[in-house]
Structure 1
Amino acid sequence: MEFPSKKKNYAQKYRKEWESHDEFKSWLKPLPGDDTKAFCTYCKAELLAKLVDLRRHAETKKHKQKMQVISGNQILQFKPDSEKISNLKSRKAEGMLALYITEHSSVSCIEHLTDLVKLAFPDSKATDDLKMHRTKCTEVIKNVLAPHFTEELIKDIGQQKYSLIIDESTDISTSKQLGIVIRYFSRKLKKVVSSFLALEQLETSDAVGIVKALLSCLQKYGLNKNKMIGLGTDNASVMTGINNGVYKILKNDIPNLILIRCTCHSLQLAVSHASEHTLPRNIEFLIRETYNWFAHSTKRKNEYHEIYETINCGEAPLKILQVCDTRWLSIEPAVQRILAQWKELTLHFGLMRDRCYTADLLYSIYKDESSYLYLLFLKSVLNDVQIALKSFESESANPLKLLNVLITLLRSVCNRILLPNAAITDKDFLNIDIDRHLNPVPYMGYLFESEQGKTSLTADTILVIKRRCIEFNVKLAKEIQQRLPTNYNVLESMSKLDPEIILRQGKDNSISELAKELGYTASDIDKILNQWHNICFVQWKNTNDVIKFWVEADDYRNAAGINDFAELVDLAISSLSLPQSNAGIERIFSVMNIVKNKLRNKMAGPLLNAIIFIRNRLKVTDAKCYNYELPSDVIAAIGKNTKYTFKNQPQATTFASTSTSSAVVSASVNYDDVMEDITFDNLEF
């Protein structure tokens, strides 16, 4: 008996036309090497190439979840350089949105801002292809905008000499950061600018670790360390130590490096040390606790407001200011506010004395007229110091007259306590022996002298107050003398570059000392001296402003198109680039604490650097996020995913011109299961 042969099963093969079906086209792909199977790109699963199996898989819970995740995060398609004008407008709009986020808010705000713009301007062609959310915005800031601004900075510096201002700080995540600000003469902006360079995380906080981070930063930006002529630091021993300080280590490789200690820090320390053992301790207690009394209590503020408005016919009182340890001489405005409201504060604490021991203690100090005299004396002294301090903090101050400001301050302090003929010239105050020339009848200032007779204090009490004030003045004068820049001869030589001096005839050759300090060769010094004596024979227009004068001299050309004063101009703008204080780096640290705060404490270094850098460059160039013109290559780079590093990509260490591929590429969101199939090649910026 013969049995019928078993029917052979039909093997369905994969059909290419299935990929065009609506239910399969977004996820179905053939499986390489096996034409009887298909592959789901969402679930990463192999399927039999049968319609019934494919449809059954499409109905599974896992597949639907994957569909839901990916459908909410569509792949962004970027077109090549031949894209339409409307697409270019969209890229430009994305760049402007990224600039706005960088300058004003956190990156998370872009999630709603993009959708808001598209809904608010539905008729605008720029919003047709607008696709900017948090991930893309972050990468645009780091890898497109920041390299562009960095390249502009490096071009602006060129091959000229520059100075660095450095300081240490700790951010909210307790990471030790070295802040670096570069100071140079910008021919493009026609002024001396202090521009943020980088925040470098320190491996160690000693001098070796700081120098290592500093030199690494200069190498990364392609800056020649031998072009560095000045180093601005605070008075910390790690920076200025004579044996193993940062300056000492750098000086070994850069012989002509000039150290400029921050004068603002020096004045702050001078006042602080002068008041430690001279003025009564209850004066500082009065200033600090008066602020603390109102700082955390709305009830106390309202009660004081009622008293003040009753006495002053409805006028509101000014806020009592805090004495901050990290702000230079913040005690001076705090003293002024307390003196302006002395009677009202005395009455307020007199009414509150039964409620609190602190109020009773403060009332006893306010009631003591000697406290009032001490504050009047402090106000008159600190006012002179504050005027000098503002000259050093101001970016528009004349850097050639900084020595004059210091001498003026020292003279005003010494004139209160020294004999009238103790110093013949202003420079004598720099080295005069204070103790040997004390005036037996010192003048404590008009405020003090006019108010002491109105008090009920005895003559002996007033003598004690005067004696302590004299001790404060003597100590302050000695501290200022001790903390004057050791190389003030450089500052003195710089003052000769002022138009008032340089345009005189019959000048000496002392300018050669400054050129020698800055490392100019003998042949260059000969040219500088020749130009130094000949510059007065040209009629100049801008003789009242130092910067404008040297900008005009830099633009000067003779009939042959040659600048006859090129070497002298180079000496002048190099000298103007020397730092005068650490105010620039302190402002950068303030921005750092605003950008990386408690809510954004996990922000990584590259993004933090990029945000601070862009903000600072916009400020330096006096530009805004809405009027800054992005170049066409930067706008084109916004639509190229070769500029994006969503996952495990190294950060760039050099900043070259932006270049992108013309091929059609796509960038996706950073979900692990979606990103496994996406790679980004040729990452450079």
Structure 2
Amino acid sequence: MSAVAETLFEGKHSVALAVDESTDVSDNAQLLVYIRFFNKDKKEFSEDLLGVTPLQTSTRGEDIYLAIKEMLMKRGIEPKQVVSITTDGAPAMVGREKGAVARMKEDNPELISYHCIIHQSVLCSTLSDEYAEVMNTMMRMINFLRASSSHQHHMLREFLKEADANADDLLLHNNVRWLSKGRVLECFWTIQREIAAFLAQLKSQKATPFALFLEDEKKMDIVAFLVDITSHLNELNIKLQGKDNSVCDLMTTVCAFQKKLEVFKEDLQGDCLHFPTVQEQVHGERDVSSFVDFVDKLIVNFSKRFDSFSLGQQLTLLIKNPFLIMDVRGFSKEVTQCFKWANAGPLQMQLVDLQADVALKEHFGGTDLATFWLQMVPETVFPGLRKVAMYILTMFGSTYSCEAAFSTMNIIKTKYRSRLTNEHLHMCMRMALTPFQPRFKILAGQATAHFSH
């Protein structure tokens, strides 16, 4: 962590945190905190693991708050340096009075908090009872075919091979990730006829209900719709993942998807251009009312979860393209609502000056956003705008880094290494996850030679 400390704490830079909690193979609750900050050496924004700590007694909001505070104190980070905190939206994190975020806002009232966008997009994918039953039946059927016995699984693969099917096996879904079922459904749909034939030849009591299920046209209509809609949701989720995505990138993606949902709603009542599986399955007069209702619920759910985000369109536009901001007063109002320290008057004048600067406009088209704001926009001329941009670019848009780190944790601490201590686990994770390279020349220069006598 010394490399981070040297880079970060000279000058007291602002930082952002991403916080998530999970359990390891020994059922110990582990709290993981990632930090994002401006790297003064590389002149770019960097992410690194701030710390991992076990929650020994409970996972209440107070316990999480105290653990985060201890990590910050160890690194010499003041609470007021933390610009934003991104969590998974669990009650212990975001509870109004006793949540960890609420306790942190007592130390820093200007702290901006976000629920993880990736988690929220998954939460938006809530199925009605009828759709949930169809999905669950599909998963039970696939588990029956693949996991009930190795002999039956082998028979299935041989049958698909002989039938020259489009796939030689079925995928198993991940119980934790709802959207992984979408990929399972896509795979199933390509070989549904072969699966129906295989179930028919089994002639077992367990196989009969699944064979009847595949003959039910109404249920197959729902499966076709689920194949298409989960494909769209998976596409969104993939765009939301990955490191170094700014909160503006992620918000832009979500806003675009909200507009796509409106297109999907109209498309279902028309040509089904965006629902090819539905188009293939449903013939003649289509009753798509339940599909439209499902998309309607998604639209409402997304609006409830994302419209309350404090980063509005004008702030997003400042980062993505400040030369397109037309409403100067509306822009300054949005900034002062989000950042209490901001001064509307100077921000308005600086925005006008920035938009009139031909050289900056030329640079903007030929460089990435972070480089433009960090290296092209002079702090002496545009101090307010640059500070706002630095704050926004520092923010995490999701807890993806934490989730990826937990995957690393599960590789390091397995059932064969379950006795690994928390201290050793955390050291291994830091070595595996840090983006910083050791400064070998400095280390070699500090080494003391020991001559034998």
Please report the RMSD computed on the Cα atoms of aligned residues, expressed in angstroms: 3.2
For 1:442 and 1:183, the matched residues in 2 are separated by 46
> Which residue pairs with 1:166 in the alignment?
19
Matched, 1:581 2:435: no
For the residues of structure 2 that align with 1:246 and 1:472, how far apart are their CA atoms?
34
Per-residue CA deviation, residues 105-151 of structure 1 (Å, 9 max, x unaligned), is xxxxxxxxxxxxxxxxxxxxxxxxxxxxxxxxxxxxxxxxxxxxx11
Q: Distance in 2 between matches of 1:196 and 1:178?
A: 11
Q: TM-score w.r.t. structure 2 length?
A: 0.87
2:276: which partner in 1?
A: 447
- Distance, in Å, in 2 between the alignment partners of 1:235 and 1:545 is 38
Is the partner of 1:194 in helix, strand or coil?
Answer: strand
- Aligned partner of residue 131 in structure 2, secondary structure: coil
User: Matched residues in 2 for 1:189 and 1:518: separation?
Assistant: 28
With over 3 angstroms needed to count, the CA separation of the structure-2 counterparts of 1:318 and 1:400, relative to structure 1, is: farther
Query: Does 1:193 find its partner at 2:46?
Result: yes
Which letter maps to 2:177?
Answer: R
2:117 is matched with which residue? 263
For residue 317 of structure 2, the aligned residue among 488, 491, 496 is: 496
Distance in 2 (CA, whole Å) between partners of 1:557 and 1:447 is: 47
Distance 1:364 1:191, change over 3 A: farther
Q: Which residue of 2 aligns with 1:395?
A: 243
Match of 1:366 in 2: 214
Distance 2:42 2:451 in 1: 39
Who wins on radius of gyration, i.e. which is larger? Answer: 1
Matched, 1:340 2:190: yes
Pair 1:182-2:35 in alignment: yes
Within 1, Cα distance between the matches of 2:58 and 2:190?
48
Aligned to 1:216: 70
SS in structure 2 of the partner of residue 181 of structure 1:
strand
The residue number in structure 2 matching 1:615 is: 432
Report the AA paired with residue 69 of structure 2.
Answer: L
Normalised by the length of structure 1, the TM-score is 0.59
Deviation per CA, 1:595-628, whole angstroms, max 9, x where unpaired? 11112212222221121112111xx35x6xxxx6
Per-residue CA deviation, residues 167-209 of structure 1 (Å, 9 max, x unaligned), is: 1112222222111111223344444333211111224311111
Match of 1:531? 350
Query: How far off its partner does 1:214 sit?
Result: 0.6
Instruction: Using the TM superposition, give the Cα deviation of residue 410 of structure 1 relative to its aligned residue in structure 2, in angstroms.
Output: 2.3
Counterparts of 2:187 and 2:94 in 1: how far apart (Å)?
37
- The CA distance in 2 between the partners of 1:224 and 1:635, in whole Å, is 33
Q: Deviations over 1:206-236 (max 9, x none)?
A: 1111111110000011112211111111121
**Mapped partners of 1:319, 1:629: distance in 2:** 49
In 1, the alpha carbon distance for the partners of 2:213 and 2:366 equals: 49
Cα displacement (A) at 1:247 = 1.5
Q: What stretches of structure 2 of length at least 5 have no aligned partner?
A: none
**Cα distance, 1:535 vs. partner?**
2.0
What is the distance in 2 between the residues matched to 1:161 and 1:472?
Answer: 42
Tell whether the 8 Å contact from 1:234 to 1:262 is kept in structure 2 after alignment: yes
Cα distance in 1, alignment partners of residues 342 and 134 from structure 2:
60
Task: Decide whether aligned partners of structure 1 residues 443 and 264 sit closer, same or farther in structure 2, where only a CA change above 3 A counts.
Answer: farther
1:68 matched to which residue of 2?
none
The amino acid that maps onto 2:296 is: V
Give the secondary-structure state (helix, strand or coil) at the position aligned to 1:163.
Answer: strand
Task: Tell me how far apart the structure 1 counterparts of residues 200 and 319 of structure 2 sit (CA, whole Å).
Answer: 57
SS of match in other structure, 1:593: helix
Cα gap change, 1:187 to 1:334, in 2 (>3 Å): farther
**Residue 44 of structure 1: aligned partner:** none
Counterpart amino acid of 2:314? S
**How many angstroms does 1:550 deviate by?**
3.6
**Cα displacement (A) at 1:398:** 5.4
Task: Letter of the 1:599 partner, please give it.
Answer: Y
**Equivalent residue number for residue 565 of structure 1:** 382
Name the residue aligned to 2:99. Answer: 245
Alignment of 1:411 onto 2:263: no
CA offsets 1:38-82 (integer angstroms, 9 cap, x no match)? xxxxxxxxxxxxxxxxxxxxxxxxxxxxxxxxxxxxxxxxxxxxx
- Pair 1:385-2:229 in alignment: no
Residue 364 of structure 1: CA displacement? 1.7
Shift, 1:400, TM fit: 2.0
Structure 2 residue matching 1:169: 3-state secondary structure: strand
Contact kept? 2:328, 2:348, Cα under 8 Å:
no
**Aligned-partner Cα distance in 2 for 1:612–1:593:** 10
State yes or no: 1:277 paired with 2:125. no
Structure 1 residue ranges, 4+ long, deviating more than 6 angstroms after superposition: 662-665
Equivalent residues of 2:373, 2:386 under 8 A apart: yes
1:632 matches 2:442: yes
Q: Indicate the SS of the match to 2:3.
A: helix
1:349 aligns with 2:199: yes
Aligned length: 446
- Aligned residue for 1:248, secondary structure, equals helix
Change (3 A) 1:634 1:207: farther
| Whole-angstrom distance in 2 between the partners of 1:329 and 1:291 | 17
Residue number in structure 2 paired with 1:154? 5
Question: Are 2:306 and 1:484 equivalent residues in the alignment?
Answer: yes
In structure 1, give the amino acid aligned to 2:298.
L
- Decide whether the 8 Å contact of 1:381 with 1:413 is kept in 2: no
Task: Name 1:597's counterpart in structure 2.
Answer: 414
Match of 1:309 among 158, 161, 178: 161
Aligned counterpart, 1:294 = 146
Q: Aligned pair in 2 of structure 1 residues 484, 162: CA closer, same or farther (>3 Å)?
A: same
d(CA) in 1 for partners of 2:51 and 2:299? 37
What is the 5 A alignment of 1:54-69?
none
SS of 1:279's equivalent? helix
What secondary structure, in the 3-state scheme, does the structure 2 residue paired with 1:172 have? coil
Structure 1, unmatched stretches of 5+, are: 1-149, 421-438, 640-661, 666-685
Using the alignment, how far apart are the partners of 1:471 and 1:592 within structure 2? 41
Alpha carbons of 1:349 and 1:631: their partners in 2 closer, same or farther (altered >3 Å)? farther
What is the alpha-carbon distance in structure 2 between the residues aligned to residue 210 and residue 570 of structure 1? 30
**Structure 2 residue matching 1:178: 3-state secondary structure:** strand
- Say which of 69, 85, 94 aligns to 1:231: 85
Aligned-residue sequence identity (percent) comes to 17
Offset, 1:369: 3.0
Q: Go from structure 1 to structure 2 and tell me whether the alpha carbon gap of 1:250 and 1:557 turns closer, same or farther (over 3 Å shift).
A: closer
Deviation string 1:495-553 (CA, Å, 9 cap, x unpaired) is: 122353x1248651444345435646356x5544433222230424553477x244244
Q: Deviations over 1:361-403 (max 9, x none)?
A: 2222223333332122112222222222222213254532433
Deviation, structure 1 residue 357: 2.8
More helix by share: 2
Instruction: Give the distance between the partners of 2:305 and 2:325, measured in 1 at CA.
Output: 35
- Decide whether the 8 Å contact of 2:24 with 2:413 is kept in 1: yes
Q: Describe the shift of the 1:251–1:293 C-alpha distance in structure 2 as closer, same or farther (beyond 3 A).
A: same
Contact 1:261–1:485 (8 Å) recurs in 2: no
